[in-house]
Each structure stands twice: as C-alpha cells, then as structure tokens.
Amino acid sequence: MANEGLLPADALEKNAPRPIPPLAGFWFRLGALAIDIFLLRIVFQLTFPLLRTPALQMGSWSVFLGVAVAFIYLFLAEGPVGKGVTVGKAILGIRTTSLLGEPLSPAAAAVRAALLMVLAVPFLCAEWTGHLVLYGNQTAIFFAAGIANGLARAYIVANAFLCVLHPFKQGVHDLAAGSLVLREAGAHNLPAFMEQAAVQASSLRRRALQVSGIAFAALSALHGFSSYRQIFSADAGKQIAFIQSFAREFRSGPFEPFYQPTRLDVVLKWLAEDNQTTTDPLSATVGRQTEANTRPTSDAHVIAIVFRARTAVRPDIHLSSDTVDSLAGRAVRWSEQQITEGLYPFDRESRTRASGIFQPKFLAMVFVEQCNLLLYGQEQIIASKVKPMAIPVGFYRFETEQWLMDRVRETSETLEEQAKETIQNRD
C-alpha cells in the first residue's frame, strides 16, 4: 500500500514534451520563398524609376537583370552575408546550413542559388517566346519553348516531391549544395535526429528519388506530348501562318506588333491610365459615324494592335506623323480584308464567344515602351491612334442572327433533355 497513488516509473518520460524537429518542412520553405519573392517585387517596384533607363538600354535582355538580382540576393543571404538566412527565412524562423549545421561555403551557396533560378524558366519562356516568334522559325520556337517550359515545370514539381519525401527534406538544390534547412527552434536537436534517421535514411532516400524521378519523367513526357499535339495541329498551323503574316506586315523599327481583340472602353482605360489621348480624337471619330447610326459605345469591339518597344524610343524618329498615318492606313486596310474575307483569326468560328461574336468596327494602335524585370514590369504608352473601319453595311447582321438562332436551338435541346430526364425519374 506504500506505493498506492504513485505514478509509474516511466510516466514522466512518456509525458515529456516531444523535441522540436530540427528540419524545416515543405510549407515552411515554400512560405519563406513566397515572402522573399514578394519583398523582391516590392524592391523592384520602388527602384523601378532608377532601373528603367538601364532596362530599356538592355532591351529584351532586361528580364535577366531581374534574374541576376534574385541570384545575388539568394547567394549573399544563403552564403557569406546572411549565413543561411533570407528575409523570408528569418520571419519564419528557419535557416540554411551545411550537413553539419554550419554556414554554407560561398561555392555551395552559389550552386544552391543557381539551381533555384530554375523557378524563373517558365517566365523566361513566356517573355522570350513572344519576342523570338516574330523573327525566327515560329514552329521551332514554339516547340522549343514548350519543351523547355515543360521540363522546368516538371523539375519544380519533382523537386517539391523530393523536399517532402526525402528523410532530410532535401531538394535537388540541397543535394547539389550539400545543404539542409533547419528550424531555429529545433536546430540543437540535429545531431540526435541525424543519428536516429541514419538507420532508415538509405531506403527512404532511395524511395524519394524514385518517386521524384517518376514524377519528372511522367510530367515531362505528358507536357512534351501535349506541346507536340498543340504545335503541329491544324489550328496551330493557322496561328503560325497568321503570326508570320502579321509580323511581316507591321514590324516597324524597334516595335514588335501584337494583335489583341478588345473593347473600346478598355482602350480608353489604357490611355487614361497613362494620360494619353488618341492622335485621331474619338470625338471626331464618333461624329463621323453618327450619321450612319454606328456611334461607338463603351462595349464597341476594337482590334487593338499593340506596338511594344523593349528599348528607348525617339518619337521624332520612330513615331513621326507620316509613319503613324502610314501604319494606321495599312492596319485598317489589312483588318478590313481579314474580316470581309473571313481569314483567321477573323473567321466567324474564331470570333465566336460564349457571350456573342467579336464584331470589330474600330482599329486602335497603341505604341508602348516595355520594361520587364521578371519580378516587376511596366508599360508606358507613348502614342496612340483610333480609326473606324469600313465594314460593309449589314455584314455582321447575318452572323448575329445565326448566332442567336444557334443559342436558341442549343437552349431548346437542353430543355428537352432535362424534360426527358425528369419524366424518366418520375417513372
């Protein structure tokens, strides 16, 4: 009876608090990366007035300025300056170390930062595809960009799997640099953890590499097959032929032309944001069209041709009144021909939307200087012109009636199917 009411000998050990895991999990690391990207974007936005001039001088290469700044930041924070702590890691209480828990060497920090730059590849592909496709073999460029984009995305997903499944929570960049990401609160438990994990580390590491490798191979193959089908399809052939024709017709000086179907109110919003007015005032355009009862409204459809210059532009040379007028005349004639002859992308099938049919009556030309620093970009409108197009009277009326009849027929068929299902359910 002397021991009645006493705790078992191992009770304190069983109820002792569990030690804090020394390794930072996937969500800690993803959160720190998101914070760092957000802060870098703010820095780019605040310093953009200073970076705009060198970015314009670099032209299309300015996107790599953003990559270089991100690399330098990660290299210094993970290595010689921050000793493994970026701003995001400091906020979440984690840091990068060597396998022994010591700061990374400069070489290891450089390797780790370089492999993290693979995250930028999809954005680089999007930026450079739009630039190169106007100058080279469009099919080859689209296919190469699709493959590179697919490989980068597959690598990112496979790397995420590796960070989750690896016994030491290491991604490819960690394995290459010989690094770990530790929680500050549990870093002192690293030696004991490594000793305990060593027993099963080999099999767990092998499984993590196998799963990540399978994910990478499967996603790469899937994306490659999808890219092949899209690029070598009949629709892609039409798009590529259109891009070639469009680029030949409108490429002018430092400007790269891009076609964009939109509405008149959207164009007016663009101009208002940059304190621009059209060189052909909309009031005059409206006045000329009023008699024909085609006064443009806020939802009037517009073919917008955006001329983007990735370098500094001299308006007196590149945007003289004669140059703009000549381009505008060619653009209106080209657009009228594309529409009336039903050529892609102005054929009825391509212009049909769920809410109606794109029926442009105006053409807008917008000239912009574009700077893209990867994490932050900005376009500045430097000139514009809006002109009406001479589309034959009643040209759009027939296809509108046809579209309405199609919608009525589809609605009727849907209601009939629903009625049949209701009757069947009752029976």
Residue 197 to residues 100, 160, 183, 188, 203, Cα–Cα distance (Å)? 14, 21, 17, 15, 11
Domain assignment of residue 12, yes or no = no
- Cite the DSSP H helix spans in 134-281: 138-165, 172-177, 190-231, 234-250, 264-273
Cα–Cα distance between 140 and 161 in angstroms, integer?
31
- List the 362-372 sheet strands across, edge first: 255-263, 301-309, 362-372, 377-388
Q: Are residues 205 and 289 in the same domain?
A: no
Give pLDDT, residue 401.
67
pLDDT along the chain (427 residues), means of 10: 49 52 89 95 91 86 89 94 94 92 93 93 82 76 86 94 92 94 84 79 90 94 87 80 84 87 86 67 41 48 90 85 89 90 82 75 90 86 89 76 70 79 75
Give pLDDT, residue 355.
63
Give pLDDT, residue 31.
95
Greatest Cα pair distance, the chain, in angstroms, is 110
Burial 308-339 (b: 16+ CB within 10 A, else e): bbbbebeeeebbeeeebeebbeebbebbbebb
Cα–Cα distance between 367 and 364 in angstroms, integer?
10
Domain boundary residue, one of 232, 264, 279: 232
Domain assignment of residue 297, yes or no = yes
Q: List Cβ neighbours of 356 (8 Å cut-off, separation of 6 or more).
A: 400, 403
Domain boundary residue, one of 170, 199, 232: 232
Q: Are residues 56 and 127 in the same domain?
A: yes
Q: Are residues 143 and 242 in the same domain?
A: no
Domain assignment of residue 141, yes or no = yes
CA angle 310, 311, 314 (to 5 degrees): 130
Q: Which domain holds residue 205?
A: 26-232
Domain assignment of residue 174, yes or no = yes
**57 touches 389 (CB < 8 A):** no
Q: Are residues 212 and 252 in the same domain?
A: no
Nearest to 123 by CA among 376, 367, 381: 376
Domain assignment of residue 183, yes or no = yes
In this prediction the pTM is 0.77
Domain assignment of residue 34, yes or no = yes
Q: Are residues 33 and 87 in the same domain?
A: yes
**176 touches 106 (CB < 8 A):** no
The enclosing H or E element of 181 equals strand 179-183
Nearest to 311 by CA among 54, 67, 135: 54
Q: Are residues 222 and 105 in the same domain?
A: yes
Q: Are residues 131 and 31 in the same domain?
A: yes
Domain boundary residue, one of 232, 266, 292: 232
Domain assignment of residue 134, yes or no = yes
Query: What token pair was written down for 243?
Result: 């891009």
How many Cβ atoms are within 10 Å of 395's Cβ, its own excluded? Answer: 12
Q: Are residues 316 and 379 in the same domain?
A: yes
Instruction: Enumerate the β-bridge partners of residue 377.
Output: 372
CA angle 81, 82, 86 (to 5 degrees): 140
Domain assignment of residue 338, yes or no = yes
Give pLDDT, residue 2.
46
Q: Are residues 356 and 277 in the same domain?
A: yes
Q: Are residues 73 and 201 in the same domain?
A: yes
Q: Give the count of domains, the chain.
A: 2
Give pLDDT, residue 284.
42
The Cβ-side half-sphere exposure at 323, using a 13 Å CA radius, reads 17
Q: Are residues 77 and 221 in the same domain?
A: yes
Give pLDDT, residue 161.
94
Residue 24 to residues 7, 20, 27, Cα–Cα distance (Å)? 36, 10, 8
How many Cβ atoms are within 10 Å of 226's Cβ, its own excluded? Answer: 12
Q: Are residues 320 and 201 in the same domain?
A: no
